[in-house]
Amino acid sequence: MQEYFEWFRILYEETGINLPFLYDSYDRNRMFQGFLMTIKLSVVCLFFSVIIGIIGAWLQGSSLKWTRRIVDAYIQLFRNTPPLVQLYFFYFAIGSLMPKVATEWGGEAPLLGNFAWAVISLSFFAGAFNVEIFRSGIEAVPNSTVEAAEALGFSKFQIYKDITLPLAFRVCLPSLNNNLVNLVKTTTLAYAIAVPEMLYEANQIWSDNVNVTEMMLFLLFAYFILVGALVWCTNRWERALRIPGYGS
């Protein structure tokens, strides 16, 4: 493996193509940690955005007018403002109002770090779209199905959890998958608040080595592979949940 890494050093010396994260152990570790951080951030945001979508779609069907209005206001706020502005708002505006906690060195640190704010902001952003996606799927479920469940004595929550949501999930899965893919690409915005994901680490490397072109090409390729793997998984997921004849 070391010979493989050394080949990229020779490539740099002979051609000028500089890929230090392949031949330098320090840069290689930085980029690997950035890749892991991107995956971690993506997985956590995907999970919470789906939870927000499911809960929000449930609350949209509430009999309480103000509950529906609050959910609608949340959707309009997060759908109609740029995600980078939202991220800055959470990190700088709300973060500055949060209490401080003592550190082991005798100083103070914010209660929530930059990774936590990135998760909160991006999850709420994608969750607003997921609420509408789940709502469209719920509305596609035939009323006769819901009425049959009510006649059998199911509660409103049981109908949503055991009947409406599973059927709606199959209908809205293509749109949901598309939004989740967009969310993974949007995680690059976490760079703006110094979350050490791939773009942040790549910026550190090209600042040290002045190899912007090589690093940007690598990032393009890396995200193509990462998002492509997610698309492949979501397509298999969609085929696995498809019911023959349903939704045709």
Mutual angle of helices 114-140 and 25-60, in 10-degree steps = 40
Query: Which amino acid is it at 10?
Result: I
Q: What CA–CA distance (Å, rounded) separates 171 from 176?
A: 10
- Residues with Cβ within 8 Å of residue 48, at least 6 apart in sequence: 119, 123, 127
CB 184 within 8 A of CB 227: yes
* H-helix or E-strand spanning residue 205: helix 198-209
pLDDT bin (cut points 50, 70, 90) of residue 147 is: confident
pLDDT bin (cut points 50, 70, 90) of residue 33 is: very high
pLDDT digits (tens, 9 = 90+) for 180-215: 999 999 999 999 999 999 999 999 998 888 888 899
CB 60 within 8 A of CB 71: yes
Lowest mean pLDDT among 23-32, 165-174, 194-203, 239-248: 239-248
pTM of the model: 0.88
Q: What CA–CA distance (Å, rounded) separates 248 from 245?
A: 6
pLDDT bin (cut points 50, 70, 90) of residue 71 is: very high
CATH superfamily of the domain spanning 2-241: MetI-like (1.10.3720.10)
Domain spans, the chain: 2-241
